[in-house]
């Protein structure tokens, strides 16, 4: 039996939305689906390493790099962010309820063989370079996404 496929486009750069994407991805992997998450625009920040990586950048790219969250754990919330208090509160509640933090969900997804794909065009726009993103991810564009999505049983845009 051929494996079913799930594809997710992660466009958003907020902690809660990325969490939803990664919970579905992990669930789909447990469902024995072949799972791909395409990260584009603000969703690319989920793939950033939390340490600063020295790379050559233009002034604008440097500004972008500073203004965007460096890594999944530094993302804000899409609602009730309260200038950074929101994420602190939700992380406490998550701990209480034993929900997995986003960085752990991403690691779990990689362990489960979920394909993490970074959109190269938006990487250029936001000035993000391969060295700044997690290891063992793929780089692609819209055609690669459509190739997967046209065979997808579940296709989501988050």
The first and second tokens of residue 56, run together, are 């050559």
User: Of the two residues 30 and 89, which places its CB atom closer to another protein in the complex?
Assistant: 30
CB of 100 to another protein, least distance (A): 7
The residue behind tokens 């950074």 is: 84
Q: Note the residues at the interface with another protein (CB under 8 A).
A: 23, 26-27, 29-32, 97-100, 108, 112
CB of 6 to another protein, least distance (A): 12
* 49: Cβ contacts below 8 Å, ≥ 6 apart: 70, 71, 132, 133, 134
CB of 46 to another protein, least distance (A): 17
CB of 26 to another protein, least distance (A): 5
The first and second tokens of residue 48, run together, are 């950033």
Helix (H, G, I), strand (E, B) or coil at 84: helix
User: Of the two residues 58 and 98, which places its CB atom closer to another protein in the complex?
Assistant: 98
User: Of the two residues 26 and 118, which places its CB atom closer to another protein in the complex?
Assistant: 26
User: Of the two residues 27 and 84, which places its CB atom closer to another protein in the complex?
Assistant: 27
d(CA 153, CA 123): 27
Dihedral through CA 26, CA 46, CA 54, CA 91, nearest 10?
-100
Q: Are strands 34-39 and 5-10 parallel, antiparallel or unpaired?
A: parallel
């Amino acid at each position: 039996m051929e494996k079913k496929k799930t594809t997710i486009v992660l466009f958003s750069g907020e902690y809660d939305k990325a969490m939803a994407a990664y919970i579905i991805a992990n669930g789909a992997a447990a469902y024995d689906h072949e799972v791909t998450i395409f990260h584009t625009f603000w969703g690319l920040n989920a793939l950033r390493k939390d340490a600063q990586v020295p790379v050559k950048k233009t002034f604008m790219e440097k500004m972008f790099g500073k203004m965007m969250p460096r890594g999944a754990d530094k993302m804000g919330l899409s609602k009730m962010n309260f200038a950074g208090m929101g994420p602190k509160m939700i992380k406490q509640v998550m701990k209480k309820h034993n929900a997995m933090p986003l960085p752990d969900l991403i690691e779990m997804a990689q362990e489960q063989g979920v394909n993490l794909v970074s959109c190269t065009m938006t990487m250029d726009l936001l000035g993000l370079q391969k060295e700044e993103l997690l290891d063992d991810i793929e780089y692609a564009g819209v055609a690669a996404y459509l190739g997967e999505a046209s065979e997808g049983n579940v296709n989501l845009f988050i």
